[in-house]
Amino acid sequence: MRGSCHCGAVRFETRGPPRRTSICHCSQCRRQSGGTWASADLARGDVTITGEVRWYHATDRAQRGFCPTCGAFLFWEDEASDEIGVALGAVDGPTELVVLRHLYVPDPAAQPGGPLRDACLCGAVTVTLDADPGAITACHCVQCRKTSGHVPHSLDDPDRLSRIEGEVATFQSPGGALRSFCPTCGTKIAFDGPTGLLSLEAGLFDALAGRAPDLHIFTAFKGDYYDIPPNVPAAPEAGPD
Ligand SMILES: [Zn+2]
Ligand SMILES: [Zn+2]
Ligand SMILES: [Zn+2]
């Protein structure tokens, strides 16, 4: 497989079939992807990476790699083994894989609830939403999949009061949207649409961890390695504007 981040500065190539594949819902992957993160695990020697990757240690054992220019969350490396996880959302063209294994799935009945005030993985950026979060939208477009590493979940509403505190890095996508992320840990923060819509990444908030998306958009562009749940509203060619 070959792939790249959203801006193209980081590229990777893998050899041979992955040892395993999974979609991770843990709080660290949630923050860095904005939603959930899909990966293929390979031997480190079977993955070639080019371009500058910024690594962040969320734990002593593992480091997480993202593109410092566009924020794309691409790699997870367990330093105690010879393995590296590579983001399936960043793969160019079909992966010819089917990912069935889900890790750290939150129990919807055990939602923490509480205020929508939370922080990125490293704690440098905090986000507060002083309103009902409303619907959660999952975007399957190629730009979002490459930035997230799988499928980001967002809270979309131009009229809501939100407060972002701390320094964020931004990347302007073709089409004009400004994507912001924490430059230290790669947590996805917000998506400023060209028409003035501000979306906050739902993955930031522990209080929303157990909620499945209410709407799926740009489903015509989804990856080949997962299915969208049936009976959930979907907009094949549409996005927020
Ligand atoms: Zn990039
Ligand atoms: Zn994870
Ligand atoms: Zn951070």
Query: What's the pLDDT tens digit per position in 25-34?
Result: 999 999 999 9
Q: Give me the mean pLDDT over the 113-138 stretch.
A: 90
Mean pLDDT in residue range 69-86: 95
From the CA of 159, how far away is ligand 2's center (Å)? 32
Q: How far is the CA of 113 from the centre of ligand 1 (A)?
A: 34
Band (pLDDT 50/70/90 cuts) for residue 159 is low
- Minimum-distance ligand to the CA of 71? 1
Cα–Cα separations (whole angstroms), residue 200 to 118, 153, 158: 12, 9, 10
pLDDT at 130 (0 to 100): 84
Ligand 3 is an ion; residues with CB less than 5 A from it: 120, 122, 124, 182, 184-185, 187
pLDDT band at 42 (very low <50, low <70, confident <90, very high): very high
Strand partners, 39: 22, 87
Residue 131 has what pLDDT?
83
Residue intervals in the chain for CATH 2.170.150.70: 2-103, 114-235
For the whole model, what pTM was predicted? 0.93
Average of per-residue pLDDT across 185-199: 89
Give the closest ligand to the alpha carbon of residue 124. 3
Q: 72 falls in which pLDDT band (50, 70, 90)?
A: very high
Distances (CA, A) of 133 to 92, 130, 155, 160, 215: 33, 9, 6, 9, 14
Indicate if the pLDDT at residue 240 is higher than 60: no
Q: Which CATH number fits domain 114-235: 4.10.91.20, 1.10.510.10, 1.10.10.10, 2.170.150.70?
A: 2.170.150.70
Return the SS3 of 48: strand
Residues with CB under 5 A from ligand 2 (ion): 24, 26, 29
- Classify residue 191 as exposed, middle or buried by CB count within 10 Å of its CB (0-12, 13-18, 19+): buried
Q: For residue 241, how far is its CA from the centre of ligand 2 (angstroms)?
A: 31
Please state, in angstroms and rounded to a whole number, the distance separating the CA atoms of residues 81 and 183. 27
CATH topology (fold) of 2-103: 2.170.150
Q: What residue has token string 């975007």? A: 139
